[in-house]
Amino acid sequence: MGELPHKYEVPIKVSAIPLKLSEKTKGELKISGMMDDKGKIKLKGVSPKMLKRMKEESVDCPVLKEEVAFIQCFVCPNFQSRISGKVLCKGDPL
- Identify the pLDDT of residue 75: 85
Please report the beta strands in 1-63, taking only residues with DSSP state E, as ranges in sequence order. 8-14, 57-61
3-state secondary structure at position 20: coil
* pLDDT above 80 for 65: yes
* pLDDT (mean) for 18-23: 86
What are the sequence ranges of the domains in the chain? Answer: 8-89
Cα separation values, 14 from 2, 5, 29, 86, 90, Å: 29, 26, 22, 12, 22
User: 2: pLDDT confidence band, cut at 50, 70 and 90?
Assistant: low
- Identify the pLDDT of residue 22: 84
